[in-house]
Amino acid sequence: MHTLWEPPGGEEPDVDIVAVHGLGGDAYMSWTLDDKLWLRDFLPHQLQNPPDEFKNDSVGAKRVRVMTFGYNANIFTEAPKKDTFSIGQELLAAVKAWRLGKARDRPLIFVGHSLGGIVIKKALNFAQSRQSLYFELLRSVEHICFFGTPHQGTESVIGVLQSLSVQLTRAEDGAILRELALWSNLVIQANEEFAGIADQFTITTFYENKKLYGRIVVNKGSATLHKNNETVVGLDRNHVSMCKFDNIDDGCYRIVFARLRAEISQIYSEERVRLRLGQVQQAFASVAPISSGNEE
């Protein structure tokens, strides 16, 4: 876990944001374009000092702490040894370790690109099954923002990688690529488990509208969870560039910023607090603990 931004002067953040990269990415470069990392260089500053078009609304300034989680997803040198369930467990442990004291109850937003979104789902599924360890963390999750996450799997990952003409060693034999196969058993199982808790947070789904090496890597159908609490938005980017922005006037960045600001603005509203309390109580009362998914 790496901290990208904390409010200056020791001010208490209103929200924690944790970003999780995807396959072939890392904790920094997955979110960076021309040395600009928007989660550090743009988002927190604009949330605290809203652009002119937002200054007349009632939301006001919001302070955030932004962190990014890294794991081995380097398919260009070797097949990742861990599956998404194991990575999700590590994500949970890291987030909990960084949210001590007053931060334990701070509202939490996850941002996931591609495979990172599946890691987030696996982490939250496991948190639901281990409430004695992760109840505070799970109840703090307010929003999940998915960028091109293949919730239904995808047929295009290997094709795109082959188009890069890069030696993949034995990456195609790795557990992660098998898991990403269209309608794989692990994909279906993760969705079934996540459906039991997904209603307790709001969701934004961004899907790609441009091809990468001649392919849409994750199409709209696979990128969408089809939930009532899900806002679905297309971005005029390909699968890699959809979560990279180098200036605040970028049209796609403005869409992403507006969505995150809207969600953050709702966290402390009386309606949201009341609704969330009911959702959490219902979710934890009705959903039985789940298995790890690794049992035979």
Banded model confidence at residue 192, pLDDT cuts 50, 70, 90: confident
What is the tens place of the pLDDT at every residue in 37-69? 999 999 999 999 988 887 766 667 899 999 999
Give the range among 54-63, 154-163, 197-206 with minimum mean pLDDT. Answer: 154-163
Whole-angstrom distance, CA of residue 161 vs CA of residue 167: 9
What is the tens place of the pLDDT at every residue in 89-141? 999 999 999 999 889 989 999 999 998 999 999 999 999 999 889 999 999 99
Given a cut of 80, whether residue 279 has pLDDT beyond it is no
Question: Mean pLDDT across the stretch 25-43?
Answer: 96
b vs e for 9-21, b when ≥16 Cβ sit within 10 Å of the residue's Cβ?
Answer: eeeebbbbbbbbb
Whole-angstrom distance, CA of residue 263 vs CA of residue 123: 21
Domains of the chain: 2-286 (3.40.50.1820)
- The burial of 57, by beta-carbon neighbours within 10 Å (0-12 exposed, 13-18 middle, 19 or more buried), is given as exposed
The helix/strand/coil state of 239 is coil
* CB atoms near residue 266 (< 10 Å): 17
- Output the CA–CA distances (angstroms, integers) from residue 112 to 61, 216, 258, in the order listed: 24, 18, 17
pLDDT score, position 167:
46
Within the chain, residue ranges assigned H as helices are 38-41, 43-48, 84-97, 115-129, 131-140, 157-163, 175-179, 185-195, 220-223, 251-266, 270-286
> Of 16 and 192, which is predicted with more confidence?
16
Whole-angstrom distance, CA of residue 95 vs CA of residue 138: 11
Given a cut of 60, whether residue 169 has pLDDT beyond it is no
Given a cut of 60, whether residue 183 has pLDDT beyond it is no
